[in-house]
Amino acid sequence: MNTITKPLLSVRGLCKHFPVMSKGFLKKQIGSVKAADYISFDLMPGETLGLVGESGSGKTTTGRTILRAIEPTSGQVLFNYGDEALDLATVPLARLKPLRTKMQMIFQDPFSSLNPRMTVRNIVAEPLIIHGLAKGRELEARVDEMLVKVGLRVEYRMRYPHAFSGGQRQRIGIARALIMRPKLIIADEAVSALDVSVQAQIINLLADLQEEFGLTYIFIAHDLSVVKHICDRIAVMYAGRIVEIGTTDQLFNNPVHPYTQALLTSVPDPDPDKRMDFGLKGEVADPADLPSGCSFHPRCPVSVERCRTMAPEFVHNPNGGASCHHMRS
Ligand SMILES: Nc1ncnc2c1ncn2[C@@H]1O[C@H](COP(=O)(O)OP(=O)(O)O)[C@@H](O)[C@H]1O
Ligand code: SF4
Ligand SMILES: [Mg+2]
């Protein structure tokens, strides 16, 4: 018997480059925004991987490209489901459709992602109705069961999103995502807009639901302190690339990459679109016009001559790895 557990997801060299077009009548491609560039990692079933980095580092693009909400430029996203390993990046859309129920996204702002004209019952029931997975009494029972699981009162099912607090609205968003019994959840800044005490409640809820439903998470956040409590491993992104990946313990106690080290001392603004208060000089690299060599070199406090001309290789270790010339010297 084969007892080796396979990763649920193996991402290999995944790229999303947005074309930059010239202005005027005859549009020509004059460059590209390397929003996600050669992203590679494995995600084991039941694991939680954090994806962290400053605003514009490519976290959302990576998440959306994995789920093929946007078309990848190149690379593989192997999704092991049952006995099959399908490449989500290239599988025909007709075959992708049934798999979409197995992968769901939870967003930062539950208010704008929930239709204000739909009742909670309709918001949570809609995915089951669209996919024809339940109707009648079974449908109502599944909605009510899910509301209870996410900590909402069944009596509120006919209310509209505006009647709820931010934390409760995020619970509605979670109920809608989980009603399809997915395997993989990508939570994109799911708690960033919430007060700190409510953040903790939602993180605890996600952790409980993970255990109950055997979920695997990619947890995107710009704030390392948020991911610390829920993630098994963390990937740090800078200018479209993963610069370091390791266990949460490793990353917090023994960060290798100078950018990870800087991130650990930063004081993030609750708004994921605002700049962080860094001890670093300079602006975050522009993925449409990346610096030569190591993209981080203009800001790196320990850069050396070759950092300007030579991109460091990613050096692997059993739990991940990092890309910095100092790892080899
Ligand atoms: N549709 C798009 N067209 C062009 N550039 C984009 C598009 N979406 C995102 N970008 C750019 O890609 C980079 C990464 O963005 P994003 O993935 O949203 O980062 P993050 O989620 O880490 O803040 C940014 O420079 C952003 O401006
Ligand atoms: S390769 Fe050079 S510039 Fe890049 S992080 Fe390492 S020391 Fe800094
Ligand atoms: Mg984002």
By CB atoms closer than 10 A (0-12, 13-18, 19+), residue 70 is middle
In this prediction, residue 113 carries a pLDDT of: 79
Q: How many CB atoms lie within 10 A of CB 289?
A: 10
In this prediction, residue 209 carries a pLDDT of: 96
List the single range of 31-40, 262-271, 285-294, 299-308 with lowest mean pLDDT. Answer: 262-271
Global pTM reads 0.93
Position 277 pLDDT exceeds 80? no
Q: d(Cα 105, Cα 182) in Å, to the nearest integer? A: 10
Interval between CA 60 and ligand 3 midpoint (Å): 4
In this prediction, residue 1 carries a pLDDT of: 47
User: What tokens appear for 240 in the block?
Assistant: 């479209």
Interval between CA 186 and ligand 1 midpoint (Å): 17
Residue nearest to atom 6 of ligand 1 (CA): 18
Position 278 pLDDT exceeds 90? no
Q: d(Cα 75, Cα 20) in Å, to the nearest integer? A: 20
Per-residue pLDDT, averaged over 89-117, amounts to: 88
In this prediction, residue 276 carries a pLDDT of: 63
What b-and-e string marks burial along 36-69, b requiring 16 or more CB atoms within 10 Å of the CB?
Answer: bbebbbbbeeebbbbbbbbbbbbbbbbbbbbbbe
Interval between CA 298 and ligand 2 midpoint (Å): 9
Query: Residues of the chain with pLDDT > 70: what percent?
Result: 94
User: What tokens appear for 256 in the block?
Assistant: 């290798």
Position 327 pLDDT exceeds 90? no
Close Cβ partners of 155 (under 8 Å, ≥ 6 residues apart): none
Which stretches of 22-73 are assigned E, i.e. beta strand? 29-43, 48-52
Position 329 pLDDT exceeds 50? no
In this predicted model, which residue has the larger pLDDT, 222 or 4?
222
Per-residue pLDDT, averaged over 252-262, amounts to: 94
Q: Which helix (H) or strand (E) holds 244?
A: strand 241-247
Residue nearest to atom 12 of ligand 1 (CA): 35
Q: d(Cα 129, Cα 127) in Å, to the nearest integer? A: 5
Interval between CA 220 and ligand 3 midpoint (Å): 8
Per-residue pLDDT, averaged over 123-143, amounts to: 95
Structural domains in the chain plus CATH codes? 9-20+30-102+182-327 (3.40.50.300)
Instruction: Give the residue, out of 30, 33, 271, with the most ligand 1 atoms within 8 A of its beta carbon, to mutate for a pocket test.
Output: 33
Which atom of ligand 2 sits closest to the CA of residue 294?
Answer: 4
CA 134 to centroid of chain Cα atoms = 29
SS3 helix, strand, coil % of the chain, rounded to 5?
35, 25, 45
User: What tokens appear for 162 in the block?
Assistant: 């505006």
Instruction: Give the residue, out of 244, 297, 314, 315, with the most ligand 2 atoms within 8 A of its beta carbon, to mutate for a pocket test.
Output: 297
pLDDT in tens, 179-209: 999 999 999 999 988 888 899 999 999 999 9
Which residues sit with their C-beta closer than 6 Å to ligand 1?
18, 33, 35, 53, 55-61, 287
pLDDT in tens, 107-120: 887 667 789 999 99
Interval between CA 37 and ligand 1 midpoint (Å): 12
Residue nearest to atom 4 of ligand 1 (CA): 18
In this predicted model, which residue has the larger pLDDT, 184 or 22?
184
